[in-house]
Structure 1
Amino acid sequence: MNVALESPDQPEVVALIAELDAYQDTLYPPESRHALDLASLKQPNVLFAVARDGARVALGCGAIVLGSEFGELKRMYVSPRCRGQGAGKRLIALLESEAAERGCTLLKLETGPYQPEALGLYERCGYARRGPFGTYTDDPLSVFMQKRLVPTAVAP
């Protein structure tokens, strides 16, 4: 398995994001979904990673939006047919490392309570529950988490 920063606008990755959207459509109403669109994922302050198998087929993806005070983990998804192979953990590890290299010291995320696999992954990766942040409101269909990072940025 290979995990690397890539562009989100590749057809295979767009299809993976559409798979994520279709899945979340079955779980949450539109007002409780806080997804980024493709144009937002292509912004310069966004790190976007893709996990691929040995045949270079996209298995999963994830992003971090870097802000001035924290980074936000977004669009994390591993196709159900590929879960249990470590793709999610490897995506998070790469994104955290890349964010830390850019001086990010805190990552936050919002996910839903009906995604036990995601919640378990985040907890295993060291994320702890917290209250709403940024523009999010307290919503029973939102779970908020965060993790501190040790910055690894090298001074110029």
Structure 2
Amino acid sequence: MTLTIAIEPPRTPGIEELLRLGDEFTFSLYPPESCYLLDVGELERPGVTVFVGRDAAGSALGMAALIERPDRTAELKRMFVHEDARGQGLASALMDRLEAAASEAGVQTIQLETGPLQHAAIALYEKRGYTRIPNFGPYVGDQFSVCYAKPLAAAAAAH
């Protein structure tokens, strides 16, 4: 499968469908108060970059968002790959592009939150060098949240 990864505005065709499917998946696993999902309006805020993976026909098959913070950290949000595209390397391609853009922007550490039942996501993050950290921000005290972080060596060395 030929895939392209690009930065796109969050209201580009196909993205809202990925958000809807991601919401359905998350709400099927966890109680609503433990679902920290950004909506399309929140993805349009300054400092948020949305990465979208599309097939050769232009269908949106996966996405991830990066929220940059003033302290040179960032948070990965809304990582989702359509069920039909799983197991084909799209999640890794999205992460490659997101981490490269974060490094270029001077981000030193990427943090993320996922749920303990999302075994494929946890395996992906750990394989990519993310390590478990104490829950941070709104996730503190939530039994359905597990948090990870990864320092970006290139960013740390360049700044």
TM-score over 0.5 for the pair? yes
Letter matched to residue 135 of structure 2: P
Match of 1:141 in 2: 144
- 5+ long unaligned stretches in structure 2: none
Deviation at 1:55, TM superposition (A): 1.3
- Residue of 82, 92, 106 corresponding to 1:79: 82
TM-score calculated relative to the size of structure 1: 0.94
- Whole-angstrom distance in 2 between the partners of 1:31 and 1:114: 16
Q: How much identity, in percent, do the aligned residues show? A: 41
TM-score calculated relative to the size of structure 2: 0.92
The structure where helix makes up a greater share of residues is 2
Deviation at 1:153, TM superposition (A): 10
- Residue of 99, 102, 112 corresponding to 2:102: 99
Q: Deviations over 1:67-125 (max 9, x none)?
A: 01210000000011110111000101111111111110000000001111111111111
| Count, aligned residues | 155
3-state DSSP of counterpart to 2:150: strand
Letter matched to residue 14 of structure 2: E
- Whole-angstrom distance in 1 between the partners of 2:50 and 2:133: 24
Closer, same or farther in 2 for the Cα pair 1:31/1:152, shift >3 Å? same
- 5+ long unaligned stretches in structure 1: none
Aligned-residue Cα RMSD (Å) equals 1.7
- Whole-angstrom distance in 2 between the partners of 1:48 and 1:153: 25
